[in-house]
Amino acid sequence: MSRSAHPAGPRHADVLPEGHYTAPPADLNALDSKVWAQTVGRNDDGVVTVGGIDVKTLAEQHGTPAYVMDEDDFRARARAWRTAFGQDADVFYAGKAFLSRAVVRWLHEEGLNLDVCSGGELATALSAGMPADRIAFHGNNKSPEEIERAIRAGVGRIVLDSFQEIVRVAHIASSLGKRQRVQIRITVGVEAHTHEFIATAHEDQKFGIPLAGGQAAEAVRRALQLDGLELIGIHSHIGSQIFDMSGFEVAAHRVVGLLREIRDEHGVELPEIDLGGGLGIAYTSGDDPREPHEIAKALTDIVGRECEVARLRTPRISVEPGRAIVGPTAFTLYEVGTIKPLDGLRTYVSVDGGMSDNIRTALYDAEYSVALVSRTSDAEPMLARVVGKHCESGDIVVKDAFLPADLAPGDLIAVPATGAYCRSMASNYNHVLRPPVVAVRDGEARVIVRRETEEDLLRLDVG
Ligand code: LLP
């Protein structure tokens, strides 16, 4: 059931966006700016370039497969979120989408905060110089060691996810002689996906404390009583790859309702609310994501309106976009290995990576597009399925895509919008080595996460 239970799963696939292609695109050589990073184009020879470098050079210097990340695009998207929300709100980039030390430095320089959800992400953030007070620590089962490290480091907030954790964090903070700033993550009974949201019975999952049955109110009551905690706000995250703002509207309404209850019962107006992440991006030309300034306006308006009705001071808002910042900034560059036409069905195009570098297609039925990038072609379109090199028939990277019929082994193809949840969910299945992340900018390519080597694999295998 994992497939149907996941936010980005088949419900997404069931509700295909209007205009989703079922016929070949008019021009196979075109690169839709919706799905490709901002500096992507073709040079005079028809070779795709990004950040001023062409993909043949990148493949020669860094090998394939490789994630190629457009640094200017990353910075521009981070800045756009920061600017859209302004000084009265905070943007926490969700590190789970993709985290590396270079990315932490870019975020720091662009004025964003960072959401981490494990000791490993915290270590990466701190080692790259993110000030601890700009870090939020998440997770439904943080270990006591992780909690202690986070408190000692001085993280800006810990997001409490259960009744046990309220006591655990309070106890550890007190024993360190500290008072930890915390938020409580609640589940508001809304679960949202790409094109729809459902506002009933979604407490049936592992995150947060349900608003239903007064549980969230009880959690607040307990947190307010504990010396080791400074309760600064309420947190809600309703799902992933969301285009429709109405789920946020219901969530904000319910969170503000709780803030009012808290004021009425305890005489305390909590100063912050966090509405989580989950804003959608374009994986194919059929997707139409919102711009950060539209999202900021919609969220700020909703919270402002709800607070006015409840006669509450408007709290400081924070959001946690991951995918919406990093997703569109990278593509995965592959070399075509074998091509297998299956008469009357489709042509299987095998590349030198697969489900180990992009598990999203297998796991969530995710949709991607693909293009021939080492040259242009005037050949007829052929219906293709891009598959990997793993020993598994579900090893599919792009389920249905049109590629030119003269595609040949040695051609380079690229799958756009792989910046989020591809490297961060990559595996060593079949002992395949995880690809590097190569950042490009102003004609220079810099490896920010190097390719794994067989020595790396063997170092873990202690015999
Ligand atoms: N904040 C919280 C508390 C979250 O749990 C998440 C994602 C985010 C922010 C960031 O969501 P984003 O803006 O990136 O959608 N592996 C899945 C996505 C899992 C998301 C988990 N939580 C995928 O590949 O689609």
The packing angle between helices 215-225 and 246-266, to 10°, is: 50
Residue 393 lies in a domain: yes
CATH number at residue 278: 3.20.20.10
Residue 101 lies in a domain: no
Quote the ligand 1 centre to 126 CA distance (angstroms): 21
- Is 94 close to ligand 1, i.e. is its CB under 6 Å away? yes
Could you give the number of structural domains in the chain?
A: 2
339 and 308 housed in the same domain = no
First to last CA, the chain: 36
Task: Flag whether pLDDT at 135 surpasses 60.
Answer: yes
218 and 187 housed in the same domain = yes
Residue 360 lies in a domain: yes
185 CA: nearest ligand 1 atom: 3
Residue whose entry in the numeric block shows the structure tokens 């990353």: 74
Question: Average per-residue pLDDT in the chain?
Answer: 94
Ligand 1, atom 25, lies closest to the CA of 8
What token pair was written down for 185? 């993550």
Instruction: Collect all residues with Cβ–Cβ distance below 8 Å to 427 and sequence separation of at least 6.
Output: 355, 356, 359, 434
Residue 459 dihedral angles phi and psi, to the nearest 5°: -65, -35
- Average pLDDT of the segment spanning 100-129: 98
173 and 296 housed in the same domain = yes
For a ligand 1 pocket test, name from 287, 295, 320, 360 the mutation site with the most ligand atoms within 8 angstroms of its C-beta: 320
CA dihedral sign of residues 277, 98, 397, 391: negative
For a ligand 1 pocket test, name from 99, 140, 237 the mutation site with the most ligand atoms within 8 angstroms of its C-beta: 237
Residue 299 lies in a domain: yes
Among the listed ranges 127-131, 243-247, 382-386, 431-435, which one has the minimum average pLDDT value?
Answer: 243-247
Distance between CA atoms of residues 200 and 359, nearest Å: 30
Omega cis (within 30) before 65: yes
357 and 282 housed in the same domain = no
346 and 317 housed in the same domain = no
CA distances from 111 to 59, 123, 231, 322, 399 (A): 33, 20, 24, 15, 38
Is 320 a known ligand-binding residue? yes
Quote the ligand 1 centre to 322 CA distance (angstroms): 7
Residue 317 lies in a domain: yes
Residue 72 pLDDT: 98
Query: Of 298, 321, 344, which closes a domain?
Result: 321
- Is 138 close to ligand 1, i.e. is its CB under 6 Å away? yes
Distance between CA atoms of residues 360 and 270, nearest Å: 38
Query: Of 265, 286, 321, which closes a domain?
Result: 321
**High-pLDDT (> 90) share of the chain, %:** 90
Query: Of 304, 321, 338, which closes a domain?
Result: 321
Q: Are 336 and 350 in contact (CB under 8 A)?
A: yes
Domain that holds residue 394: 41-70+328-460
Q: Are 55 and 336 in contact (CB under 8 A)?
A: no
- Average pLDDT of the segment spanning 185-196: 86
Quote the ligand 1 centre to 97 CA distance (angstroms): 7
Residue 31 lies in a domain: no
430 and 403 housed in the same domain = yes
392 and 432 housed in the same domain = yes
Residue 24 lies in a domain: no
CA distances from 58 to 46, 71, 384, 440, 443 (A): 15, 15, 25, 9, 11
**High-pLDDT (> 70) share of the chain, %:** 94
| Structure-model confidence comparison of residues 336 and 191, the more confident one | 336
Q: Are 275 and 245 in contact (CB under 8 A)?
A: no
Distance between CA atoms of residues 314 and 271, nearest Å: 8
Distance between CA atoms of residues 41 and 48, nearest Å: 6
Among the listed ranges 4-13, 198-207, 309-318, 339-348, which one has the minimum average pLDDT value?
Answer: 4-13
Ligand 1, atom 9, lies closest to the CA of 277
34-60 pLDDT tens trace: 999 999 999 999 999 999 999 999 999
How sure is the predictor about 205, in pLDDT bands with cuts at 50, 70 and 90?
confident
Quote the ligand 1 centre to 69 CA distance (angstroms): 20
Q: Are 335 and 403 in contact (CB under 8 A)?
A: no
342 and 279 housed in the same domain = no
Q: Which amino acid is at 437?
A: V
290 and 155 housed in the same domain = yes
Residue 247 lies in a domain: yes
385 and 288 housed in the same domain = no
294 and 335 housed in the same domain = no
Q: Are 164 and 219 in contact (CB under 8 A)?
A: no
158 and 304 housed in the same domain = yes
How sure is the predictor about 81, in pLDDT bands with cuts at 50, 70 and 90?
very high
- Average pLDDT of the segment spanning 127-140: 98
- Average pLDDT of the segment spanning 422-444: 98
CATH number at residue 336: 2.40.37.10
| Structure-model confidence comparison of residues 59 and 10, the more confident one | 59
- Average pLDDT of the segment spanning 306-329: 97
Catalytic positions, please?
A: 391
